[in-house]
Amino acid sequence: MRIAIQRVLCGLWFVGFSLIANAANGDLDPSFGTGGFRMAGILDGYATIPAGMAIQSDGKILICEAEGPSSSTDFFVARFTANGAVDTTFSFDGHTTVDFGGNADICSGIAVQADGNIVVSGTTTPSGGNSDFAVARLNSDGTLDVTGFGAGTGKAVYGFDLGGTNADTANSLALRPDGRIVVAGSAQTAANGTDFAILQLNTDGSRDTTFNLTGRVTVGFDFASSTSKDDSALHVAIDAEGRIVAAGLANRVAPSNTDMAVIRLLANGQLDPDFSADGRATLAFDLGGAGGSNADGAFGMTLDRDGRIVLAGFADSGTTATQNGDVAIARLLPDGSPDATFGIGGKTTIAFD
């Protein structure tokens, strides 16, 4: 199987753009690969869409995903040079895998430390179910860091185990300036719901007990009108004051009426009362008409230089049970309120249709 690598600044994956004679902003970069993209036939068997990407200080490109037979996947990590060629200095052939022993090990986050080591995170699911967060650290050459991470293995597994089937899913990764690791996702807390789940680790992979005493925090939005209460963090970042900001979606009305959702945690893991009064904020686009799901969610997030939170995701504008998703962008002020100077009430959508 081949991976298509294209030079795009936002970290999204695109296929099928054409290159015009005089490249302008937004066109493919002709200095990268062939006409702005490069195909690399480095996968065998089943593979997911690349879920994580990072750029090293030297311009090299890292991606992570899952690879292997569909019944038993491993973390897959690949590195490319700044011009898109497979980097053979990384694990000799440009890619490596990490096996946590689960039937489905899926990588969803990747980040590069100041020393060049590479942290990857995701989810591992053993044969009996009950998925957990999984984190590994690679040396810059692609080998597992068995001397400094994960008690001699270079990898570790972390469960929240709060109820239901104990299905915990890791979706995003961020690094603090001191090297501590923050992973965000969801943790099942009962048979009918999940909460935002945040894990903070020391640099050696042990849970950071200065963070909520256990290194783990869960936050639910728990709308009274929802019977499913499925809340999930899909992206995480560390702000200039060391607070954790996580964004995703929260279930407002069962089964699929969701809103963009954001939390902010203090460095000790407690909800920040200066953010939307209780540390939690939601944004509803509600563009769907009668019969529509009004399913809104934030899949990406960045913090601008003024501390505002920019969310990117989708908003369902369909009027039937069949969703019609539009690109949705929102911006919050540092206190968690919508930025009225952006779009309409802090929100805007783009329909490609």
* Per-residue pLDDT at 103: 86
* Per-residue pLDDT at 240: 96
* Per-residue pLDDT at 199: 98
* Per-residue pLDDT at 12: 36
The phi, psi pair for 157, rounded to 5°, reads -120, 140
* Per-residue pLDDT at 256: 67
Average pLDDT for runs of 10 along the chain of length 353: 49 37 75 77 61 92 88 91 93 94 91 97 86 97 97 95 90 96 94 90 97 96 72 96 97 78 98 97 83 83 97 87 87 97 96 86
Q: Are 232 and 196 in contact (CB under 8 A)?
A: yes
* Per-residue pLDDT at 16: 36
CA within 13 Å, CB half, 92: 2
* Per-residue pLDDT at 337: 97
CA within 13 Å, CB half, 77: 33
* Per-residue pLDDT at 15: 34
* Per-residue pLDDT at 298: 95
Of the candidates 178, 220, 175, the one whose C-alpha atom is nearest the C-alpha of residue 195 is: 220
Torsion angle in degrees (nearest 10) through CA of 101, 102, 106, 110? -40
